[in-house]
Chains A and B, each alone.
Chain A
Amino acid sequence: MSNRMRLAAPMGLLINRNQHVTFKFEGKQYDGYHGDNIASALLANQQWLMSRSFKYHRPRAPLTMAGHDANTLIQLGGEPNVLADRVAPSQGDIIEGQNYSGSLENDRDSILGYFGRFMPVGFYYRAFFKPYGVWEKWESVIRKKAGLGKLDLNFEPEYYDKVYLFKDVVVVGAGPAGLSAALTAADAGASVQIVDEHPILGGSLSYHRFDLEGKIADQTRSDLVAKVEAHPNIEVTLNATCNAWFADNYLPVIQGKRMYKVRAKECIVASGAFEQHVVFRNNDLPGIVVCSAVSRLMKLYAVKPGRRAVLLTGNDDAYFTALDLYEQGVEVAAIVDMRAQGGAQSVTAAVQNLGIKITLGSTVYEALATKGNKHIRGVDVRAISGQGEVDAQSNLIDCDLLCVSSGFMPSYSLLCQAGGQLSYDDETAAFNLSNLPAHLHIAGSVNGIHSLTAVIRDGERSAVDALQNLGHDVASIEPIECDKQTNFDWPIFKHPKGKDFVDFDEDLQVKDIINATRIGYRDIQLVKRFSTLGMGPSQGRHSALPAARLVAKSTQRTVSQTGVTTARPPYAPEKLAHIAGRIFDPVRRTAMHDRHIEMGAKMMPAGNWQRPAFYGKPEDRDKCIWAESEHVRNKVGVIDVSTLGGIELRGPDAAEFMNRMYTFAFLKQPVGKTRYAVLTNEHGVVVDDGVACRIADDHFYVTATTGGVGGVYSDMLKWNAQWRLDVDIANVTAAFSAINLAGPDSRKVLEKIASDVDLSAEGFPHLAYREGSVAGIPARLLRVGFVGELGYEIHVPTSYGEALWDAVIEAGKEHDIKPFGVETQRLLRLEKGHIIVSQDTDSMSHPGELDLGWAIARKKPFYVGGRSVDIVMARKQTRKLVGFTLPKGSAKPEEGHLVLSGDDISGNITSCEYSPTVDSIVGLAFVSIDQCEVGSKFEVRTDNNVMVNARVVKLPFYDADGKRQEL
C-alpha cells in the first residue's frame, strides 16, 4: 500500500493529494503526490535508503530535507547527482541510486567500511606507488570506483538563457527576516527582488514551530506572504538560488534553465542558518535527521517520519519539534538534552505534561543499527562527564527516528565571498559575521538572531540601512539584541571504534581531523586540502563548525583563530549550460542587408556584424567562391564593406596625431592621396591596419578593421588625453556605408553613375582619394589595392547605403556585375599576399616578421610602439610570415596546422586556399627564420597526420607588377 506514512491535513502545505505521480526508484514503483520532492515521496513509502557514502559505501538517507546535505544524490534518468530533496518527480521518471556495486540495497562495496583502518586520512597520497608500476594496476580499479553517477553521452543540448535585471534592493532568502526586509524597502518605494531556493515564500515560517500552541508561524507567514505577493514593488523569484556575490552586488540567480544577472544597489542577505548535527558513533544512519528536517517532512509533505522518536539537542528547538511529533501521532520516547541545565521552563513543562521523558546533561554516544546499517533501531544514551567525554553507564532506548540539533551555523557563503569575516564567540559557541562591504547587509538567523520578533525587527533594520544608502530619509533602527542561546559548545563525542562522522560527504571521522593536525597540517586550509574536509557537495555546511572546534583544540588555538576555509563561488552546483546560456547578443546589420538576403547570400558573423560570406548554398561554398573570384578578376564584382571601421580626424593637429599613432609618415601626405596605415601597440606588435585618406591639410579619414576599430578609437582618445593635441576624433564607422566595386570593368560601371568625378587613369590614379556624387549621393571614393584589381571603394552616408547598392547593381547590369562576399574577398587578397590582422598576425608578430618594414618611418620623433619596434627588429629574428604554394590536389592545410622543422614545431599556417587564378594551393604561414628563404621547402602536418611539403615563394602569387590594380 503506497503513501503509508502520510499525515492528515492540514499537514502537507505543498502537496496536492488529488494528483498522483508515479515513478520508479531502483526498479521499484513508487506513488507520490504532486508537490512532493523525490525524497518526500520515497519517505512517505518508508524508503529511506537513497545513497551510499563516498568512501565506505555506508547507507545514507536524508539529513536536512532541504537539499543542504549530499545524502540524497540520485541519478534521475540521464542526469547524475540530482538532490532528491530538491527536485520533484515527474510521472514515469526512472530514478537510480549512485556509487554502488550491485544494487543500492546490497552494495558489494560496503565491505570497504570494514577496511577503514587501512584507509586513514590522506592514505591515497602514500599508497598505490610502490612497488614501481603498481599504480597502472590500481588506476583502472580506482577510476571505476571514483565518481558519482553516469553521464548520458547521447544527450541533446537544451535551451538555457540569461536575463538582466537592475534592482534597488535584492533580498536573498524569503524567511521572516527576508520578507520583512523586502516589505520595509518596498513600502518606501524601492524596487525589490526577493529570491528563495524553495517553491514557496516563508522560509522557516513554513515548517518551524515558534510557540507552544503552534499558531504564530502560520499566522505570521500568511500575513507577510500576502503582503509581499500583493506588493507592486516586489518581484518574487522562487526555486532560485543566488549562487555568488560579485563586486558591487552583481548577483547570479539561477532558476531552472535561466540565469538572472542581477545588479542590486543594495543587497540584503537573509539566507538563514544551517542546523548542525551531533558527532557520535554511527551518526550517519538512515533515520537520523536534523530537527528542521522532521518539521519539513511533516508540515510541507505530510510525511510521518517514524513510529518512535528520540530527540538529541543542545537548544530548545527540539522541544518544539517534540510537540510537533506528538501531535502527529509519533511516539516520543525521550528528549536527550546535552545541556546540564536543560531548556526554558515553559517548553520543559509543556513536554513533560505530555509524558515525554527528558534526560539532561546527556548525549547519544552511539546509534544502533539494523542489519547492514540500513536504519537506526536505537540509541545508547550516556551522561556527559566532560568536554567530549561520557560516563560508562549505557542507557539503551529503542527508536526508528533520531532528531538532532546541536545549534546553527550561519549560511555565510555569499557574505564571505564579499569579504565578510567569521569570528567565533566562545560565549554563544557560534560564528558570527562582520566586516561586510557597504551596500551589503544581513538579517535574521544568519546574523545570529533567532527569536521571531527579533528576526522580523532585524529584517526591518537591515532594510532601513539599505534605504538610507539609497537616499531615503528614514530613521535608523538600533542593532537587534537576541540572547537566545542555540549552540551547544562541544557536541562532539569521539568513539574508540570510530564511524563518528564530522563530514558525511567525505566519510571523515573525528580521528581523521585530529590525525591531519598531528601529521603537521595545523592550518584549517591545509587540513581541508589534506583530508578533503568540506570539499564535497555540502561544502562544509555541517562539517565546518565541528572541524573548526576540533582543529582549534588539537592545535591549542581559539576557534576564531582557526576559522573556516575560504568561501568561493559558486554556492551550489552550476552547470556549464547556465554559463553558456543565450546572452544578450545584439547583431549589427549593414544598410544593404536586405539586398544580400534577396540575392541569396550565405551570411556569416564578423565581430557582431552579419556579412555575406558568399552568394549561394552552403554546400556549394567552394564553387561559389571560385566563380565569384573569377568574375572579379575578369569582369566586375561588388562587395559590401560597410562594416569596415572609419575614424574622422579634424583639426590643426590631425596630421601630427596620425604621425604619432601609426607607423608610417603622414605629415607630408598630399591632399587627395591615400596611404597604408599600420598600428602597433606599445609592445611593438601589429594590432590593426587601414587606409588613411587626406581630405584636407587638417582633415583625415582613416579606416580600420571591422573588429579592431572600437579599440583603435578608444586608444586614440586615451593617447590624445595625454598629448592634448588640437584634433577632434570621431568614430564614424556606423555613419558611413561602403562598397568595393572591383574588376577590370569597374571603371565602366562607375562612369555611368559618377558624373562629377574625373575617373580617367590620370585624373584618379591608383591610391588616390576623391569626392563627388555617385548616383546623386555624396560620396568619398578611394582607389585601394586590397583585391588586386582596378577598383573603387565608395563610402556614402549610411542612410544612402541601400540606394548606392541598387544604383551600382543597376549600372552594372550591362557589364554582368555580380556581388561577391567576404570569403571571396579573402581569397582575392590572399592571391595578392595581403595580410589580415589577427588572421595572419598574432599577439607577438612585429612589423619585421610581416615584411612591413617599408611602412615604418624610422626617423619620426615618435609613434606608439616605436621604441619597441626598434628593439625587436634589431634582435636576431626567429620567425617570418611567408607565402607558400602546394600543387593542387595536395592535402590542403587549414589555418592553425603546424609547420615543422624536423621534430620541432617552427610555425603555423595562417591562411590557405586553393586559387583558381594560379591553379594551385596558396597560403601564408609563420615559419622559422631558417625556413623562410624563397625556394626552400617546409613540412606541414595536416589532418590525420598527413604531411605535405610546401614551397616558399615570393609574394604576391598573382600580378607581381601590380599592373591590374593600376589600370
Chain B
Amino acid sequence: MPDPNNCSDREWAEYVFYSDNAIQVVREWWMHSASSYWFIAERHTGSDEILKTYPSTELFKERVEFAAKATGQTS
C-alpha cells in the first residue's frame, strides 16, 4: 500500500482498483474460514497450484505506524 498521506491521487487509485493479471506465482492473502486464520499463500495463477503457505508474521514483522497528517494534529 502506498503511503495514503504521501502519494498522488493516481497512485492511490491504482492501488485500490488495479491488479496485475499475469501468469506467474503471486503472493496472496488467504483465510481459513472455520478458524478465521489469515495466512499467506503463493499460488501460480496459471495452474492454480499452491506452492507455499506460511504465517503472515513472516512478512509483517513489526508494528506499523501511520505518521500524523502534515496539516494538523491527530484527534
Q: Are chains A and B native binding partners rather than an unrelated pairing?
A: yes
Residues of chain A touching chain B, judged by Cβ–Cβ distance below 8 Å, are: 247, 660, 665, 667-668, 682-683, 713-714, 717-718, 721-726, 731, 857, 859-862, 866-868, 871
Q: How far is the CA of A673 from the CA of B12 in the complex (A)?
A: 35
**B58 nearest CB across to chain A (Å):** 11
What per-residue 1/0 map shows which CB atoms of B23-62 lie under 8 Å from chain A?
Answer: 0000001010000101000000000100000001100111
Tell me which residues across on chain A come within 8 A of B13, comparing CB atoms. Answer: 871
Verify A660–B12 contact, CB threshold 8 A. no
Verify B5–A868 contact, CB threshold 8 A. no
Given the contacts A717-B38, A862-B66, A871 and B60 also touching, CB distance less than 8 Å:
no
Tell me which residues across on chain B come within 8 A of A682, comparing CB atoms. Answer: 16
B68 contacts the other chain (CB 8 A): yes
Verify A868–B16 contact, CB threshold 8 A. yes
Q: How far is the CA of A667 from the CA of B74 in the complex (A)?
A: 9
Q: How far is the CA of A668 from the CA of B71 in the complex (A)?
A: 20
Q: How far is the CA of A721 from the CA of B61 in the complex (A)?
A: 10
Q: How far is the CA of A247 from the CA of B49 in the complex (A)?
A: 10
Q: How far is the CA of A336 from the CA of B68 in the complex (A)?
A: 90
Known interface pairs A717-B31, A861-B69; 16 further A-B residue pairs with C-beta atoms within 8 A, sorted by A's residue number? A247-B48, A665-B75, A667-B75, A683-B16, A714-B31, A717-B38, A722-B60, A722-B64, A724-B61, A724-B62, A859-B72, A860-B74, A861-B68, A862-B66, A868-B12, A871-B12
Given the contacts A861-B68, A862-B4, A721 and B60 also touching, CB distance less than 8 Å:
yes
The list of the 7 closest CB pairs from A to B, nearest first, reads A862-B66, A867-B4, A861-B66, A859-B72, A721-B56, A723-B64, A665-B75
Given the contacts A682-B16, A718-B29, A867-B12, A859 and B56 also touching, CB distance less than 8 Å:
no
Verify A722–B63 contact, CB threshold 8 A. no
Tell me which residues across on chain B come within 8 A of A726, comparing CB atoms. Answer: 63
Q: How far is the CA of A857 from the CA of B64 in the complex (A)?
A: 20
Tell me which residues across on chain A come within 8 A of B19, comparing CB atoms. Answer: none
Q: How far is the CA of A167 from the CA of B66 in the complex (A)?
A: 49
Verify A725–B63 contact, CB threshold 8 A. yes
Verify A859–B74 contact, CB threshold 8 A. yes
Residues of chain B touching chain A, judged by Cβ–Cβ distance below 8 Å, are: 4-5, 9, 12-13, 16, 29, 31, 36, 38, 48, 56-57, 60-64, 66-69, 71-75
Tell me which residues across on chain B come within 8 A of A725, comparing CB atoms. Answer: 63
**A113 nearest CB across to chain B (Å):** 48
Tell me which residues across on chain B come within 8 A of A862, comparing CB atoms. Answer: 4-5, 66
**B37 nearest CB across to chain A (Å):** 8
Q: Which residue of B lies closest to A718 (CB)?
A: B38
Q: How far is the CA of A857 from the CA of B61 in the complex (A)?
A: 29
Tell me which residues across on chain A come within 8 A of B64, comparing CB atoms. Answer: 722-724
Verify B75–A722 contact, CB threshold 8 A. no
Q: How far is the CA of A721 from the CA of B16 in the complex (A)?
A: 19
Tell me which residues across on chain B come within 8 A of A724, comparing CB atoms. Answer: 57, 60-64
Q: How far is the CA of A544 from the CA of B22 in the complex (A)?
A: 33
Q: List 9 A-B contacts (CB under 8 A).
A: A668-B75, A714-B38, A718-B29, A721-B57, A721-B60, A723-B63, A725-B63, A861-B68, A867-B4
- Choose from B38, B48, B66 the contact partner of A721 (Cβ within 8 Å): B38
**A196 nearest CB across to chain B (Å):** 29
- Choose from B29, B36, B60, B68 the contact partner of A713 (Cβ within 8 Å): B36
Q: How far is the CA of A723 from the CA of B56 in the complex (A)?
A: 11
Q: Which residue of B lies closest to A668 (CB)?
A: B75
Q: Which residue of A lies closest to B67 (CB)?
A: A861
Q: How far is the CA of A866 from the CA of B68 in the complex (A)?
A: 13
Tell me which residues across on chain A come within 8 A of B31, comparing CB atoms. Answer: 714, 717-718
Tell me which residues across on chain B come within 8 A of A723, comparing CB atoms. Answer: 60, 63-64
Verify B74–A861 contact, CB threshold 8 A. yes
Q: How far is the CA of A630 from the CA of B36 in the complex (A)?
A: 43
Tell me which residues across on chain A come within 8 A of B16, comparing CB atoms. Answer: 682-683, 868
Q: Which residue of A lies closest to B4 (CB)?
A: A867
Given the contacts A683-B16, A871-B9, A859 and B62 also touching, CB distance less than 8 Å:
no
Verify B36–A714 contact, CB threshold 8 A. yes
Pick the most buried of B38, B62, B73: most chain A CB atoms within 10 A of its CB.
B38
**B54 nearest CB across to chain A (Å):** 12
Q: How far is the CA of A429 from the CA of B20 in the complex (A)?
A: 43
Tell me which residues across on chain A come within 8 A of B69, comparing CB atoms. Answer: 859-861
Q: How far is the CA of A724 from the CA of B59 in the complex (A)?
A: 11
**B35 nearest CB across to chain A (Å):** 10
- Choose from B9, B57, B63, B75 the contact partner of A860 (Cβ within 8 Å): B75
Q: How far is the CA of A668 from the CA of B36 in the complex (A)?
A: 30
**A202 nearest CB across to chain B (Å):** 36
**A720 nearest CB across to chain B (Å):** 9
Q: How far is the CA of A714 from the CA of B74 in the complex (A)?
A: 27
Tell me which residues across on chain A come within 8 A of B75, comparing CB atoms. Answer: 665, 667-668, 857, 859-860
Pick the most buried of B9, B29, B66, B68: most chain A CB atoms within 10 A of its CB.
B66
Given the contacts A714-B31, A868-B16, A871-B12, A861 and B5 also touching, CB distance less than 8 Å:
yes
Q: How far is the CA of A660 from the CA of B71 in the complex (A)?
A: 18
Verify A717–B36 contact, CB threshold 8 A. yes
Verify A722–B56 contact, CB threshold 8 A. yes
Verify B12–A859 contact, CB threshold 8 A. no
Q: How far is the CA of A538 from the CA of B73 in the complex (A)?
A: 71
**A729 nearest CB across to chain B (Å):** 9
**B17 nearest CB across to chain A (Å):** 8
Q: How far is the CA of A140 from the CA of B31 in the complex (A)?
A: 54
Tell me which residues across on chain B come within 8 A of A860, comparing CB atoms. Answer: 69, 74-75
Q: How far is the CA of A660 from the CA of B4 in the complex (A)?
A: 13
Tell me which residues across on chain A come within 8 A of B48, comparing CB atoms. Answer: 247
Tell me which residues across on chain A come within 8 A of B38, comparing CB atoms. Answer: 714, 717-718, 721
Q: How far is the CA of A668 from the CA of B74 in the complex (A)?
A: 11
Tell me which residues across on chain B come within 8 A of A871, comparing CB atoms. Answer: 9, 12-13
Verify A866–B4 contact, CB threshold 8 A. yes
Q: How far is the CA of A374 from the CA of B20 in the complex (A)?
A: 60
Tell me which residues across on chain A come within 8 A of B9, comparing CB atoms. Answer: 871
Tell me which residues across on chain B come within 8 A of A857, comparing CB atoms. Answer: 75
**A300 nearest CB across to chain B (Å):** 41
**A713 nearest CB across to chain B (Å):** 7
Verify A859–B73 contact, CB threshold 8 A. yes
Q: How far is the CA of A714 from the CA of B39 in the complex (A)?
A: 12
**B60 nearest CB across to chain A (Å):** 5
Q: How far is the CA of A721 from the CA of B12 in the complex (A)?
A: 22
**A832 nearest CB across to chain B (Å):** 27
**A667 nearest CB across to chain B (Å):** 7
Q: How far is the CA of A861 from the CA of B70 in the complex (A)?
A: 9
**B59 nearest CB across to chain A (Å):** 9
Q: Which residue of A lies closest to B56 (CB)?
A: A721
Q: How far is the CA of A682 from the CA of B67 in the complex (A)?
A: 19
Tell me which residues across on chain A come within 8 A of B73, comparing CB atoms. Answer: 859
Q: Which residue of B lies closest to A867 (CB)?
A: B4
- Choose from B4, B57, B63, B71 the contact partner of A859 (Cβ within 8 Å): B71
Tell me which residues across on chain B come within 8 A of A718, comparing CB atoms. Answer: 29, 31, 38
Q: How far is the CA of A403 from the CA of B13 in the complex (A)?
A: 67
Q: How far is the CA of A722 from the CA of B5 in the complex (A)?
A: 18
**B32 nearest CB across to chain A (Å):** 10
Tell me which residues across on chain B come within 8 A of A717, comparing CB atoms. Answer: 31, 36, 38
**B30 nearest CB across to chain A (Å):** 10
